[in-house]
Amino acid sequence: MRPILLGGTFTWGIGGTIAAMLMFPSEILAAYLAAVLVVVIAPGPDNILAIGRGLSQGRAAAALSSVGAGLGIMFHTVAATLGLALVLQTSPVAFWAVKAAGAAYLLWLGYKAVSARSLISFAPADQQPLWRVFATGLLSNVLNPKPGLFVVAFIPQFVSVERGPVHIQMLVFGAIFAVLTALIFTLLGCFSAQLAQWLSRRPKVVAAANVGAGLTFIAAGLSILALERRQ
């Protein structure tokens, strides 16, 4: 079993600096990467956003939406590392507040996609500033409690106290998750951008795609509302 060195020395500074060398066994890293790829590729609101931005506004918009989603994963990782995510599991008020906010945001995105048909649109009036594209990608992840609870349940399975500080390992695994999310979503968005010219001549297909994307957001919002708090 040959270990793989990731990143050398990591620095974590809160009231001082902690330097640690992390060694991840190759089979642990391979299993983690395989699991992350399955999670990232599975259809969901974040990759649909990236694809929609790529179709409507090109590669730059797809990349910014994807980076926002990746930073959202990192937000949940930091929250889990600091113990903030555990508040969602132990505080009913906090859990329901975050759940309501996340569900409302996704339901609103779904309503807009179905009613205005503007998620995938080639009309200049429907183009969004790139900062808003980024913010939407970020908020759709940050306001969703499911990634936070997933990180709490998923990443610790690959952490071992024998390999160094647990919080450093959590951050490294979360960073891998975030980077892969941003890269794969960007690739999906850039690939979809190649279809923009073909779709622009098929308004019925565009309308159906908007409805499909909107229903996906609505389903995601409803699934958040149905999410139960677990100790």
3-state secondary structure of 13: strand
Sign of the alpha-carbon torsion through 102, 103, 108, 110: positive
Rounded-to-integer distance, Cα 35 and Cα 13, Å: 30
Quick: pLDDT tens for 97-147.
Answer: 777 877 887 888 888 778 877 677 777 666 788 999 999 999 988 888 778
Higher pLDDT, 85 or 199: 199
Flag whether pLDDT at 6 surpasses 60: no
* Exposure on the CB side of residue 121, measured as CA atoms within 13 A: 15
What is the structure's pLDDT at 88?
Answer: 61
Quick: pLDDT tens for 164-213.
Answer: 777 888 888 999 999 999 999 999 999 888 887 787 777 888 788 878 87
Q: Residue 84 is encoded by which pair of tokens?
A: 């903030």
pTM of the model: 0.72
Task: Count the Cβ atoms, other than its own, within 10 Å of residue 97.
Answer: 13
